[in-house]
Amino acid sequence: MRRRRFLSLISTATFFLPGWNSTGWLQAEEEKTTDLLKTFVDEFVAITPGTASFPASFQMGSSQGEPNEKPVHEVKLSKAFAIAKYEVPQNLFHAVMGYNPSRWPGPRNSAERMSWNEANEFCRKVTAALRADKRIEQDETIRLPTEAEWEYCCRAGTETRYSFGDEPRTKADLPPATSILNEFAWHTGNAAGNDPQVGVLKPNPWGLYDIHGYLWEFTADAWSPNYEQAPADGSAVTSEDESSKIVIRGGSWKDAYPLLTSSARRGLSKTAKDDAIGFRCVKSK
């Protein structure tokens, strides 16, 4: 009797499978995406160079760093913009792109293992979605930060090696467990893998989380081996060569403290993917 009843229930049940074209299921997915878009927009930090605590200009690069961080030069930013306080999380990336490339799954973990081209495609798609949802103006766009904007926001008005000071440890002879860096960044000294949620550690002075470590972050710039020809207005260095490298910033959970400074930079192929690389977005006119 129980077996017949069980089979009867199976024959009359409706199964909600991913991709099933049900109005109710699609509506739930749309509502979920709308909530994610709202959260995404709400988590931007307004940056207004030349007002309040935002300096009009800053010294980009480091005289103590590697050759690709030199020469130190002044950059003046004249336009306001906003930057995401977190790297793009996996739930939002999946909602916008329809897939999640990440090795370390978790809805609020940073999305990783996408290419630079895929990150730009995300920016195009999320811009269209936010405009359609009337969450940004029609003349606003979501994009990758320029390298200068990224360093300006990472430094947050500071002139030290990190946004929290010059030293990653309280004393040079102390073990990594007492590292100041541990309070702000996931790196080789405290990360077993790229698996935490965004925003677990302390933010920089402007409220940006995981700006040091966790994941390297894409920028809009083509790679230059130094700053000899760097723009002074904060604009991106561009290249029409599809084989040219782009710039990533911030260091990752796979790196030691020297690569997590505010000025550290690396070149990367546009098609390269890694579980230590992700991105955060900028919103601008």
Minimal CA–CA distance to 59: which of 49, 48, 72? 72
> Looking at residue 13, what is its pLDDT?
34
Residue type at 66 in one-letter notation? E
Angle between the 116-132 and 23-42 helix axes, to the nearest 10 degrees? 100
> Looking at residue 178, what is its pLDDT?
60
Tell the burial category of 108 from Cβ atoms under 10 Å away from its Cβ (0-12, 13-18, 19+): middle
pTM for the model stands at: 0.88
The first and second tokens of residue 256, run together, are 């030691």
> Looking at residue 174, what is its pLDDT?
56
> Looking at residue 22, what is its pLDDT?
42
**Could you tell me if 212 and 155 are in contact, meaning their C-beta atoms sit under 8 angstroms apart?**
no
The C-alpha atoms of residue 231 and residue 224 are separated, in whole angstroms, by: 11
> Looking at residue 29, what is its pLDDT?
65
Instruction: Give me the average pLDDT of each 10-residue run along the chain (285 residues).
Output: 34 35 51 92 98 96 96 97 98 96 95 98 98 97 98 98 90 62 93 84 98 97 96 94 92 95 97 97 97
**Whether domain 23-284 has CATH 3.90.1580.10:** yes
The first and second tokens of residue 140, run together, are 């606003």
The C-alpha atoms of residue 261 and residue 263 are separated, in whole angstroms, by: 5
* Strand pairing category for 57-60 and 141-143: unpaired
